[in-house]
Amino acid sequence: MNTIRETLSVLQQRGLDRLDAQMLVLLTLQRGPHDRAWLMAHDGDALPADSAVRLETLVQRRQRGEPMAYLRGNQEFFGLQLQVDTRVLVPRPDTETLVNWALELVGAGSSVARVLDLGTGSGAIALALASQRPLATVSATDESEDALAVARSNAKSLDLPVRFHVGSWLNAVPGQRFDVIVTNPPYIADNDPHLAALAHEPLTALTAGVDGLDDIRNIINNAPQALVPSGWLLIEHGFDQAAAVRGLLQATGFEQVSSRTDLAAIERCSGGQWPQAR
């Protein structure tokens, strides 16, 4: 029976990096991911036999490329613990750039703001906005009933009042108008080599045509009919798509078009304001 220290060493010899090895052992022992100090303090303890069996299953899944969030069954986003599984994408820290921009536009005292999250997946964006702007009315859409089941479960566990609608993009909310529309749509090109590393996540939530912009074009073209005058559309996109998305927004008639950078100084989101009168 190996000690925790010996187990971690063996896992690294098998090709796992040190942090992954620690996270898997903590998960096996049913301890939180922030318990690394406990792990170090108890590295001389023996790993129980039943834990070793559970660990081997987790290691094999991780080595096949499955995201750590799926192994845990949850992911933190904007301070919220969200349930995630293979029905939804894993929320990324980069997306907090989009949330922060939307929060600037929806002031803390705004009781009339209507916000829509298109393609909500796990509900991460909508729930983050609802948690920070409790006076706003937050709605969210997804064409996947499976994804909405995850989002609704997250909303219930967090006790956050988000209105969910099933359907493709703005078709899910016909006739409704919003002050702010946010979206993190699929934006990877169909033949992008990076897709191989994302094989465990739902493909339909990742790819969007030969240039990755098919869904973004759809959203931009239809957003004017779903925005109030002076309403905003904010879009997360790929690391090299900001100029193209700004061009699409401007060509459609949006004003105040600009982009925001993430923590890595990459232009991660672009948006614009629909003018007061047309």
Does any domain span residue 72? no
Averaged over 219-242, what is the pLDDT?
Answer: 94
Q: How far apart are CA 39 and CA 19, in angstroms?
A: 12
> Do 210 and 235 share a domain, yes or no?
yes
Q: Can you give the pLDDT at residue 250?
A: 97
> Do 57 and 128 share a domain, yes or no?
no
Tokens of 55: 């660990």
Averaged over 85-114, what is the pLDDT?
Answer: 89
- What's the predicted TM-score (pTM) here? 0.85
Strands of 51-203, DSSP E: 74-77, 80-83, 114-118, 137-142, 162-166, 178-183
Q: Can you give the pLDDT at residue 194?
A: 57
Q: Can you give the pLDDT at residue 187?
A: 61
Does any domain span residue 26? yes
Q: Can you give the pLDDT at residue 205?
A: 53
pLDDT tens per residue across span 12-63: 989 888 888 888 988 888 888 788 888 888 888 888 888 888 898 888 888 8
> Do 133 and 181 share a domain, yes or no?
yes
- Tell me the percentage of the chain whose pLDDT exceeds 70: 89
Q: How far apart are CA 218 and CA 88, in angstroms?
A: 21
pLDDT tens per residue across span 125-141: 999 999 999 999 999 99
> Do 148 and 222 share a domain, yes or no?
yes
> Do 43 and 93 share a domain, yes or no?
no
Does any domain span residue 167? yes
Q: Can you give the pLDDT at residue 59?
A: 87
Q: Can you give the pLDDT at residue 277?
A: 67
pLDDT tens per residue across span 188-215: 655 655 555 555 555 555 555 567 788 8
> Do 168 and 269 share a domain, yes or no?
yes
> Do 36 and 82 share a domain, yes or no?
no
Averaged over 261-266, what is the pLDDT?
Answer: 91
Give the total number of structural domains in the chain.
Answer: 2
Using CA atoms, how far residue 113 sits from 5, 73, 177, in Å, is 53, 33, 11
pLDDT tens per residue across span 153-183: 999 999 999 999 999 999 999 999 999 999 9
More confident residue, 186 or 193: 186
Domain of residue 112, residue span? 77-273
Q: Can you give the pLDDT at residue 202?
A: 55
> Do 23 and 87 share a domain, yes or no?
no
> Do 28 and 126 share a domain, yes or no?
no
Residue 261: beta bridge partners?
267
Q: How far apart are CA 102 and CA 100, in angstroms?
A: 5
Given a cut of 60, is residue 278 above it in pLDDT? Answer: no
> Do 167 and 128 share a domain, yes or no?
yes
